[in-house]
Amino acid sequence: MSVYRRNNVQVRGSGARTMVFGHGFGCDQHMWRYVAPAFEEEFRTVLFDQVGTGGSDIASYDSVKYADLSGYADDLVEICQELQLHEAIFVGHSVGAMIGVLASVKAPDLFQKLVLIGPSPRYIDDGDYAGGFSSDQIDELLEFLGNNHMGWAETIAPAIMGNADRPELGEELKDSFCRLDPVIARDFARVTFTSDNRTDLQKVAAPTLILQCSDDFVASEAVGAYVHQQIPTSTLVQLRATGHCPNLSAPAEVIEAIRAYV
């Protein structure tokens, strides 16, 4: 299984430099639909789906490998190595940002700069650290996903397996965004929302831009400030955008902020 197929890697644009986009929990590379095209003239852009989401190869999912974010970071490193990337720009959203952080620690030559949109090294409160959620609240999410897994179950599998006799499944997939395999989504949610990568932040050597929204329920401004404080080489930019997905709700502002930094 090539990493291209496994992670549904899409390379577009042209330019001497490369920009790699990593999506977070709950969606797929469509997340970058309003942002990535803006860089295609200057950069080669690389988009991919984390295994278990979008057009990734579901059969490649391995619950042991992906039992923590390190498995996802290994995938990212492999994608970059396959593309022979050095000194690329990494743009990651939400947990995708943390996966990029881990990849840059594993292979410091890959990324020249990191752009982290709504990053959080830990979602559950811990002493003085305010992650924003109690472990009960995270359990509530995981239980919700567990109880609802039939609601959006199996819709992706037949389409992925290429049912030639049911082309409407392919159509449905093409027109759908943020499709998740139910079982993997629950695992990914658990791995994401119970992760604690606070100690990895200090190991980041690359200059890092943190883009923080206000009123972000998933990754609060306090968490953004914590990430900024922990990564010595970081710059924190507060966006006017609100919510957790400025790459969707305020793409122009995000593009502008990235462009100014890289």
Name which position in 74, 243, 255, 261 contacts another protein (CB under 8 A).
243
- Considering only residues 3, 20, 31, 102, which one is a binding residue for another protein as defined by CB under 8 A? 31
> Can residue 249 be called a binding residue for another protein (CB under 8 A)?
yes
Chain residues 210-229 in contact with another protein, contact rule CB under 8 A: 217-218
**Rounded least distance, CB 116 to another protein, Å:** 16
Q: Residue from 20, 209, 248, 257 that binds another protein (CB under 8 A)? A: 248
b vs e for 151-167, b when ≥16 Cβ sit within 10 Å of the residue's Cβ? eeeebbeebbeeeeeee
Instruction: Tell me the pairing of strands 208-214 and 234-242.
Output: parallel
Q: Does residue 139 bind another protein (CB under 8 A)? A: yes
Closer CB to another protein, 29 or 234, in the complex: 29
242 phi and psi angles, rounded to 5 deg: -115, 165
Q: How many Å separate Cα 195 from the centre of its chain?
A: 14
Q: Are 224 and 254 in contact (CB under 8 A)?
A: no
Closest of 21, 80, 28, 84 to residue 51, by C-alpha: 28
State which of residues 3, 20, 27, 35 lies at the interface with another protein (CB under 8 A). Answer: 27
CB of 72 to another protein, least distance (A): 15
User: With CB under 8 A as the contact rule, which of the stretches 8-16, 22-30, 38-46, 198-206 interacts with another protein?
Assistant: 22-30
Q: In what order do the strands lie in the sheet with 111-117?
A: 10-13, 43-47, 17-22, 88-93, 111-117, 208-214, 234-242
Q: Give me the active site residues, please.
A: 94, 216, 244
Q: Interaction with another protein in 58-117: which residues (CB under 8 A)?
A: 94
Structure token digits, residue 74: 């290994």
Place of tokens 């392919």: 170
Tell whether residue 143 is a contact of another protein (CB under 8 A): yes
Where do contacts with another protein occur on this chain (CB under 8 A)? 24-27, 30-31, 33, 94, 133, 137-152, 175-178, 180, 189, 193, 217-218, 242-245, 248-249
